[in-house]
Amino acid sequence: MKSCLGLVFFSFISVLVYGQGQPRSTQYIFNNYLLNPALSGIDNYIDVKMGFRNQWQGLEGAPETYYVSLNAPFGEDFIRSSVNTFPAEGENPMSRQYVNSFMSAEPHHGVGFHAITDKAGRIRQTSVNATYAYHLGLSEVLNLSVGVSGGFSSIGIDVEGVVGEKDDVLFAADYNNRIRPDVGLGIWLYTPRFFLGASGKQLVGKHWKTVDGQRTVEQYQQPSFYGTVGYKFFVGEDLAVIPSGLLSYALNSPAAIDANLKLAYKDKLWMGSGFRNNDSYSLMAGFNVGYLINLSYSYDFTTSPLKHVNNGSHEIVLGLLLNNRYKVNCSQRQF
C-alpha cells in the first residue's frame, strides 16, 4: 500500500510541477469570481469570500487549498442609483416578481483581488491577482462585462530530507521557488435568469533560454481555460432550481466537466448536488445570516481510483456582504 501511495503522489507532484494546474473548487457556483475577472464589482456591495478545501481527507500529504477574495463596484450612477436591479429592503431578489421587474445595471467599473494557496505534500503553489472589469447594459435586462487580472504565481518544493534531492533534476529545476507573472482575461453575459462566461488564466507562461547557442522556449505555466453557463427556473414564487455547468481545460491535460443542480428558497437557504467526470460527485448546502454573512459547505464523494485511500473532500466558504446599503441577503447575479 505504501509503495502504491508513493507512486500516486509522485505522479501528482509531477503534474503540479510541470503543469501547475489550478486548484479545484466544488463551490464554483458560489464564487465564479475566482475563475473569471469579469465578475469584479458585479454586485452592489463589497463582496468578501474566504474558503478552505481539504481534498482527499485521510490521505497523507493530500491537497489543502486556502483562498480569500474581495471585489467591489465603483461608479456613482451604479452605486447611488435606485434602479430596479437593487430592490429595497424586504424584497426577495430570488423571487419571480423581482425577476419580472429586473432592469440591467448602469454602466460601471469593478475592481478586486484574490489570493490562493494550494499545498500538496511537499509542493506549495501560490497566486495573487488584482482584477478589473467594466459592466454595461446591452438591453433592458441583458448585461455584459469584460475583465482582466494581473499578478504573480509561484511554486515551491520543500526538498529538505528528500533522498537524492541533490542529483534529481526535478528538484533542482530552475523554476522551483521562483515568482512568475500571471495574466488572465474573462467575459460574462448575464440576465436575472441566465449567465454565460468564458475566461483564461495563466496566459503568460513562456520564456526563452539559450543553451550552447541554441535558443529554445520553456513552458513554466500551463494556461487554463473555463466556460460557465447557468439558468434559473422558477417552480414557485420563492423557489428556484438552477442548473449550471463548468468546462475546464488546461493544455496537455484532459478536459473536466462539472455539472451542478442548486435548489434555492428565497434568499435564505439553498442546497444542491454536483458531478465531476472521472473524479467525484458532491452534496452542498448554504444559508444566509441577515445582511452580512453567508456560509456554505460541500462534501465530495470520490469516484476515481483514489476512492480506496481517502475519505472524500470537504470545502467550506464564508462570505461577507460589506457596505450592503440595499440590505440584500445574497448575490443577485451569481445565483
Mean pLDDT across the stretch 43-59? 86
Planar angle of CA 181, 183, 185, nearest 5 degrees = 180
User: What's the pTM?
Assistant: 0.80
Rounded to a whole number of angstroms, the CA Rg of the chain reads 21
Residue 320 has a pLDDT of 93
- From residue 113, how far is each of 2, 69, 203, 231, 291 by CA, in Å? 41, 6, 17, 27, 22
Mean pLDDT across the stretch 158-175? 55
How far is 174 from 218, CA to CA, in rounded Å?
11
Higher pLDDT: 335 or 238? It is 238
Using pLDDT thresholds of 50, 70 and 90, give the confidence band for residue 51.
very high
Higher pLDDT: 118 or 100? It is 118
How far is 173 from 157, CA to CA, in rounded Å?
10
Using pLDDT thresholds of 50, 70 and 90, give the confidence band for residue 18.
very low
How far is 138 from 118, CA to CA, in rounded Å?
38
**pLDDT greater than 80 at residue 157:** no
Residue 193 has a pLDDT of 86
Mind listing the pLDDT tens digit for each residue in 252-304?
778 889 999 999 887 788 999 999 888 788 999 999 888 889 999 999 888 87
Using pLDDT thresholds of 50, 70 and 90, give the confidence band for residue 216.
low
How far is 193 from 164, CA to CA, in rounded Å?
57
**pLDDT greater than 80 at residue 210:** no
Residue burial 74-85, b: 16+ Cβ < 10 Å; e: rest? ebeebbeeeeeb
Higher pLDDT: 63 or 58? It is 63
Residue 289 has a pLDDT of 85
Domains and CATH numbers, the chain: 28-161+168-322 (2.40.160.40)
Residue 297 has a pLDDT of 95
**pLDDT greater than 50 at residue 2:** no
Residue 84 has a pLDDT of 35
- From residue 164, how far is each of 67, 167, 172, 223 by CA, in Å? 33, 6, 11, 31
**pLDDT greater than 90 at residue 172:** no
**Which of 20-34, 132-146, 189-203 shows the lowest per-residue confidence on average (mean pLDDT)?**
20-34
Using pLDDT thresholds of 50, 70 and 90, give the confidence band for residue 144.
very high
How far is 111 from 81, CA to CA, in rounded Å?
19
Residue 77 has a pLDDT of 57
How far is 215 from 178, CA to CA, in rounded Å?
21
Percentage of residues in the chain with pLDDT exceeding 90? 33
